[in-house]
Structure 1
Amino acid sequence: MTQPTYYEKRNRKRLRVTRNRLKRLLPSTGTSLGPLSVLPDELIREILLRLPARSLLRFQSVCNSWRTLISSSQFAKDHVRSIAADPSFSHPRVVYHGFWFYRYKRFGDFSVQSLFENPSQPTEVVRFAGKSSHEIIGSCNGLLCLQDNVMGNCIMLWNPCIGLTSQPLEIRGFIGVCGFGYDHVNDEYKFVAVVDQKHKQEPLRFETRIYTFCPNSSKRIIQDTAFKRIIGDGKGVFVPGTATLNWIHWHGLVLSLDLVKETCSEFSLPLNLKAPENKSFVFPHLCMLKNCLAFCCSHEKTHWSVWLLKEYGMPQSWTRLATIHCHHSLLTGAALHPLYIRGNTLLMAVASTSKIVLYNLDDGRLEFPLLKPTPADVPMGLWFYIYHESLVSPSYRCLRNTKGAEQLPVK
């Protein structure tokens, strides 16, 4: 029997599935609901697809048919699609980690909904034990891609919601540039790594590899030298729907890797970082906002510019979202990382100070929500990522509770 995850234990309540509850889930359908026993299976499935993943874990105990449905890999995929179509069905979470080589390493997550709805009240942080050596590469469909630096360059997938990890992939060589994403055409999760193959008495030799998470994990080598001059931390930003990983190239371009075709292309940023008039721009980086690729950079450490790419791959569609002035002492000289937008409020993280910021896009007002317990006791700062909870299994081929799934401890 599968052991309940931390989230199941923490949120377990007496389950009551009532007729009124179902009516609230479908307020606009106009459907006249009779006794629950006569609801067609198709309608029950449609209702369940609109529920958060954490609720669905509890609802598996309603009956055997619900457990079979909810635990199927196809339902997990359809649930991810329903969230993508209407994000209101699920509330994202922020996961963070410290620097793996530092003894004050921290790893945990917290609710985005709580930050927006109650910014004056401390948001509860869930800390995960046993991850002092793990670093987050990226997230996709509720899965986090983790790198274990102590055990060698081991890469694994982890779903925090269901508490399972995949078998690790061992990467030989030093990983400089990397990224994680999903090839929706071939239904495959892929990890990209630019590896330094340096041997004694030999010059540097870089190799760009694409690994596929599958029962017989494959590795392919692609010939591309553009990855040698990537700006930033080297982690690619995945853009759902396009199946691309994206980095900032030294020449002031976006380097895009298509995970389906496994080919590279380039397009320009909204600012020419190599132009003399833009030499004062610092801390450039990419992120995802409102399902669009976004670009953020600081100008002379006085203000930040945030841009959205409305149409992927079309540089003329870059649109300025915000200009954020660094008049607050907590923002001066710091690297801002936009994470999420809800309504007219932009959620950002200050990595160097481990602070969370809410920025009002209309009036420029700033709020600094509190976290409890605070992760701010990490002197070297934290890295923050957004992920949506899902039922997708990290086991290869999305098979739930298979032999390849292992539990990671949580506290």
Structure 2
Amino acid sequence: MEKHSAREGVELLPQDVIIEILLKLKVKSLVRCKSVCKSWLSLISDSQFTKLHFDLSAPTEKLLFISIWGTDLELPSIDFNASLNHDFSCVRFEVPHGIFHPRYYKFGGSCRGFLILECWNHLCLWNPCTGFHKQVCRSPMDSLKDNPYDLLFQGLGYDPLTDDYLVVQLLKNLYTNDRKGAEVFSIRANKWMEIEPINLSFKSCRDNKRPCRVLNNAIHWLGCCLKEEMEVVFILGFDVTKKKFYEIAAPIDVAHSTDEKALSELAGLLSLCVYKESNRSIEIWRMKEYKIESSWAKTSVVSLVVPRRFFNLLCVTKDGDIVGKDEKELIKYNKKGEVKENLSFARLNLSSFHVEIYKESLFSLPCHNE
């Protein structure tokens, strides 16, 4: 009987069948498939294929952790939509060698599989699934000899009209607190550009330290502003295509409360999760029509059966489970408020850390000299 190698076998299949099969695979498997043969390498690396795979696979969000003042260059990633305790739900990504300071780096946002890693005096865009990365030069404001600015918000967005990734920074003047500065780094142009900041007196609040969210071609952060001498929580948006900031009011019950809040995306809708410490419950609000503030609706209230002290919201799974953390572990609650499962940070070799939410992708960055 004549024997055929695996490579010969796949070459017997029609090209459209091969494409259909590959489109159904996970990113991790596709990265391995690049080494099967040159034709697969070319196909999987093609920009049309990577975009089609991202659109069709509806990639689930994952959590990536990075220790503060740590030396571990392999960062744990958790698929919070799967079981937290299954081996396949946790993978480790190796940080690109020679880019980061060995003692300190943190996240600054994510978009389409890329994350911003901030390290002392430079930024880097990194796709942990493919290893593709690009170092970003220091911004003009950061390079000032006596830098008067402090970073308020940072994020990463994608402009589909120009096929460009943008690093966005909104800063405040340390000497004149109400004066803001804003700048954008274009991957295609390979340079920083100063843009018009939002004309709103606001400040940093504890909740804006949580991951920002990207949807509808916009980056979203939680912010606080003073209105009639009262602190009000709102959502700060940045339209990536128009390069403009704007404000979205939070639901009235949420805006004036001191409860802990986290931005989320549920079924493609901008959402807010609110942890009410007074009665140990979690409210989930969804904006059913984007930018239509009257369309905010409270879609569920979950009373925690076993409340935790210092509970911090992180995200909501596709099935509606709520994921958060306390001082020692990652916790997943079901819709009844019962602890579904947990994962000790000791198992991940983590103590104090930053966390970022990202989606897996095969994307690479457009070259500025294309």
Q: TM-score, normalised by structure 2?
A: 0.79
**Identity within the alignment, %:** 23
Which residue is 2:187 aligned to? 213
Shift of 1:385: 2.6
Go from structure 1 to structure 2 and tell me whether the alpha carbon gap of 1:227 and 1:159 turns closer, same or farther (over 3 Å shift). farther
Q: Which of the residues 161, 164, 167 maps onto 1:191? A: 167
Go from structure 1 to structure 2 and tell me whether the alpha carbon gap of 1:311 and 1:224 turns closer, same or farther (over 3 Å shift). same
- Secondary structure, counterpart of 1:333 in structure 2: coil
| 1:112 equivalent in alignment to 2:88 | no
Q: CA RMSD for the aligned pairs?
A: 3.3
Shift of 1:261: 0.9
Structure with more of its chain in strand, by fraction: 2
Q: Are the counterparts in 2 of residues 123 and 372 from structure 1 also a CA contact under 8 Å?
A: no
Give the letter for the 1:194 counterpart: L
Which residue is 1:341 aligned to? 317
Q: Are the counterparts in 1 of residues 183 and 192 from structure 2 also a CA contact under 8 Å?
A: no
- Looking at structure 1, the residues matched to 224 and 12 of structure 2 have their Cα atoms a distance apart, in angstroms, of 58
- Secondary structure, counterpart of 1:370 in structure 2: strand
- Secondary structure, counterpart of 2:28 in structure 1: helix
Which residue is 1:259 aligned to? 240
Shift of 1:393: 1.5
Q: Are the counterparts in 1 of residues 215 and 270 from structure 2 also a CA contact under 8 Å?
A: no
5 Å-filtered alignment, 1:90-105, equals 92-99=61-68, 102=69
- Looking at structure 1, the residues matched to 88 and 41 of structure 2 have their Cα atoms a distance apart, in angstroms, of 35
Q: Which of the residues 156, 160, 164 maps onto 2:124? A: 156
- Secondary structure, counterpart of 1:224 in structure 2: coil
| 1:146 equivalent in alignment to 2:125 | no
| 1:364 equivalent in alignment to 2:337 | yes
Q: Are the counterparts in 2 of residues 179 and 235 from structure 1 also a CA contact under 8 Å?
A: no
- Looking at structure 2, the residues matched to 116 and 303 of structure 1 have their Cα atoms a distance apart, in angstroms, of 23
Shift of 1:158: 0.3
- Looking at structure 2, the residues matched to 209 and 287 of structure 1 have their Cα atoms a distance apart, in angstroms, of 25
Q: Which of the residues 348, 361, 366 maps onto 1:390? A: 361
- Post-superposition CA distance 1:196-223 (Å, at most 9, x none): 455xxx6455311122122532413214
List 4+ stretches of structure 1 deviating above 6 A.
104-107
Q: Which of the residues 44, 65, 69 maps onto 1:70? A: 44
Q: TM-score, normalised by structure 1?
A: 0.72
- Secondary structure, counterpart of 1:170 in structure 2: coil
| 1:166 equivalent in alignment to 2:134 | yes
Which residue is 1:178 aligned to? 154
- Looking at structure 1, the residues matched to 70 and 84 of structure 2 have their Cα atoms a distance apart, in angstroms, of 32
Give the letter for the 2:155 counterpart: G
- Looking at structure 2, the residues matched to 48 and 125 of structure 1 have their Cα atoms a distance apart, in angstroms, of 21
Unpaired segments ≥5 residues, structure 1: 1-14, 19-34, 400-411
Give the letter for the 1:364 counterpart: G
Moved more, 61-70 or 203-212: 203-212
- Secondary structure, counterpart of 2:82 in structure 1: helix
Q: Which of the residues 34, 47, 55 maps onto 2:29? A: 55
Q: Are the counterparts in 2 of residues 138 and 235 from structure 1 also a CA contact under 8 Å?
A: no
Q: Are the counterparts in 1 of residues 156 and 166 from structure 2 also a CA contact under 8 Å?
A: yes
Go from structure 1 to structure 2 and tell me whether the alpha carbon gap of 1:370 and 1:213 turns closer, same or farther (over 3 Å shift). same
Which residue is 1:402 aligned to? none
Q: Which of the residues 239, 258, 274 maps onto 2:214? A: 239
Shift of 1:252: 3.2
- Secondary structure, counterpart of 1:233 in structure 2: helix
Unpaired segments ≥5 residues, structure 2: 143-148, 226-231
- Looking at structure 2, the residues matched to 57 and 238 of structure 1 have their Cα atoms a distance apart, in angstroms, of 26
